[in-house]
Amino acid sequence: MPFAISMSGICKRFGSVQANDAIDLNIASGDIHGIVGENGAGKSTLVSILYGFYKADSGQIEISGTPYTHNSPADSIAAGIGMVHQHFMLVPNFTVLENIILGHESDRDLTRSIEHARHMLMNLAHQYGLVVDLDAEVGDLPVSLQQRVEILKALYRNAKILILDEPTGVLTPQETEQLFDILRSLKEQGVTILLITHKLREIMAVTDCVSVMRGGRMIAHLNTAETTPEELAELMVGRPVQVQKQWHQTQKGEAIVKVENIHLSNADNQNLLSDISFTVHAGEIVGVAGVAGNGQSELLNILAGITAPSAGAITYHGHRIAAENPANAQTIKALGVAHVPEDRHASGIVLPFSAAENAALGYEDDVSHGYKNMFISPQQLNARCADLMQEFDVRPQHPELTSSLFSGGNQQKLVLAREMSASPSVLLVGQPTRGVDIGAIEFIHQQLINMRDSGCAIILVSVELDEIMSLSDRIMVMNNGQIMGMVNKSDASVKAIGLLMAGVQ
């Protein structure tokens, strides 16, 4: 039987960057095949070529043994290739059925087209275990069901090859397992699945084979059953990597953060946060777990002084800040609180600024040694930044380079270097390893553990449950703006945390 996908000699260049360099990839029909690699390894470019977003500069592609040429995603869909994007391509105020047939109506008479689609979709849903209310508005569905809609949309368009790009980023562990069950069912029905993910645990759980990319090249093809996460990580990075951080207990100090009955309402008087109360001690990491959009971001902004709460109070080192007299971010920072925001581009760095300028943002007094409103020379900025770049392994180590020219992972390390180097007593961290390579993840995790061991109180917000469970001394789980539970490290399990994330106590 010919390969479902056969790619040979695929090259793609963007200016001076060789994104794909003579890539060969063969995927057996009916397999679940994973592709892993660091940021910039060329994974997204490769699947974008396969799906028709880009055209390769050179190389050949065959689909089920037939030469494949395309000029657009429409050509790829016609060839039986479907793609479920990381950010869903759905119209929120359309029904499930309307979203699925949009642009693919079977009849000029819309009524007949809808009737035909309904019958076909009911058969597909039964065949693959993709049950969803066809008449529900997509905007009212949880993300796990929206993902089912995307898969159904691809199958409705006769996809025999399905590409999934980071499909579990917004799912609870239980929803992830449900997705894997669906993928296994699709495999049994002969659908070939190409899975792009940075989560090695998921590669090990669901794939038959895995290919590893590094620096735009394909460097390994492995049977999943014959490899390990450690081997895959080493192949991705080019050196041994500690995949799982070895947590160790430390002595907690006094409670230096106290959050009391925090509430937050929006302009429509809807509750975004309800009755949030907890404490954090010196020398501990409290991880905040939950599916994105359940109040974690709002809580972090309140703690950092960016957003004023509607009610409640926060105490740092005995300094109580009540909702009726809120403090701004500058005041919070002066209390020894550092903040690594969730979105580095929106709140962490100014992209047109140099690395040296960004490394000093908010800490200008430290650079000028306390002389306010004094001119800070470029030499002072560059010297301080060079030291931070050396300590936090920011590459390239050029302080004068514009920040937009650094990779996402190095931009993140620059923000972490700025905030951690201030020796805060409290560190607020949002998504510390979002968009960061596995080698940099290892480094960032070690820095967080080192700060905890030095007595810093850390509040860690992350959608990566593995990260939360690996680093946290206690785990606070949020759902719908409320605390569902506070779990000690010794009592934490993926199943227990996942149920709390889903709102089940």
Q: Is 246 inside any structural domain? A: no
Q: What average pLDDT does the segment 45-73 reach? A: 92
Q: What average pLDDT does the segment 252-280 reach? A: 95
pLDDT recorded at residue 369: 59
pLDDT recorded at residue 137: 93
Residue 370, pLDDT above cutoff 60: no
Question: Furthest-apart CA pair in the chain: how many Å?
Answer: 76
Same domain, 152 and 178: yes
Q: What average pLDDT does the segment 399-414 reach? A: 87
Same domain, 212 and 326: no
CA angle 332, 333, 335 (to 5 degrees): 70
Rounded CA-CA distance 394/403 in Å is 11
Mean pLDDT computed over every residue of the chain: 90
Q: What average pLDDT does the segment 101-116 reach? A: 80
In degrees and rounded to multiples of 5, residue 273 shows phi and psi of -135, 140
Same domain, 91 and 232: yes
| Residues contacting residue 339 through CB under 8 Å, at least 6 positions apart | 300, 303, 304, 329, 332, 333, 419, 427, 428
HSE of 390, CA atoms in CB hemisphere, 13 A: 6
Least confident of 121-130, 208-217, 371-380, 392-401: 371-380
Same domain, 210 and 78: yes
Same domain, 424 and 336: yes
CATH code of the domain containing 45: 3.40.50.300
Q: Is 431 inside any structural domain? A: yes
Rounded CA-CA distance 474/484 in Å is 13
Q: Which domain holds residue 398?
A: 255-501
CA angle 266, 270, 274 (to 5 degrees): 95
Q: Is 144 inside any structural domain? A: yes
Rounded CA-CA distance 219/212 in Å is 6
Q: Is 360 inside any structural domain? A: yes
Of 181-185, 260-264, 362-366, 498-502, the range with the highest mean pLDDT is: 260-264
pLDDT recorded at residue 246: 66
Q: In Å, how far are 332, 378, 380, 421 from 387, measured between CA atoms? A: 26, 14, 11, 10
Q: Which of 237, 270, 303 is the last residue of a domain?
A: 237
Rounded CA-CA distance 401/83 in Å is 37
3-state DSSP assignment of residue 313: strand
Number of Cβ within a 10 Å radius of residue 74 = 11
Same domain, 133 and 279: no
Q: What token pair was written down for 200?
A: 């090695």
Rounded CA-CA distance 319/131 in Å is 53
In degrees and rounded to multiples of 5, residue 243 shows phi and psi of -70, -45
Least confident of 89-93, 140-144, 368-372, 429-433: 368-372
Residue 298, pLDDT above cutoff 70: yes
pLDDT recorded at residue 439: 77
Residue 5, pLDDT above cutoff 60: yes
pLDDT recorded at residue 231: 94
Least confident of 113-127, 138-152, 239-253, 305-319: 239-253
Q: Is 12 inside any structural domain? A: yes
pLDDT recorded at residue 163: 95
pLDDT recorded at residue 213: 94
Same domain, 213 and 333: no
Same domain, 262 and 232: no
**What does the DSSP assignment read for 378-430?**
HHHHHHHHHHHHHHHT-SS--TTSBGGGS-HHHHHHHHHHHHHTT--SEEEEE
pLDDT tens column, 426-484: 999 999 987 677 878 888 899 999 999 999 999 999 988 989 999 999 999 999 999 99
Residue type, 22: A
Same domain, 134 and 104: yes
Q: Is 44 inside any structural domain? A: yes
Same domain, 377 and 418: yes
Residue type, 354: S
Least confident of 102-111, 307-316, 386-395: 102-111
pLDDT recorded at residue 93: 92
Q: Is 364 inside any structural domain? A: yes
Total domains in the chain come to 2
Q: Which of 211, 237, 263 is the last residue of a domain?
A: 237
Rounded CA-CA distance 304/285 in Å is 17
> Inter-axis angle of helices 173-188 and 143-156, to 10 degrees?
20
pLDDT tens column, 140-196: 988 888 989 999 999 999 999 999 988 887 788 888 888 999 999 999 999 999 999
Confidence of residue 346 (pLDDT cuts 50, 70, 90): confident
Does the bond joining 142 to the residue before it have cis omega, within 30 degrees of 0?
A: no
Same domain, 212 and 97: yes
pLDDT recorded at residue 247: 73
pLDDT tens column, 31-40: 999 999 887 7
Higher-pLDDT residue of 377, 28:
28
Confidence of residue 318 (pLDDT cuts 50, 70, 90): very high
pLDDT recorded at residue 186: 92
Residue 304, pLDDT above cutoff 80: yes
pLDDT tens column, 225-261: 999 999 999 999 888 887 666 678 888 999 999 999 9
pLDDT recorded at residue 404: 87
Q: Is 247 inside any structural domain? A: no
Q: What average pLDDT does the segment 205-209 reach? A: 96
Same domain, 227 and 309: no
Contact 132, 84 (CB under 8 A): no
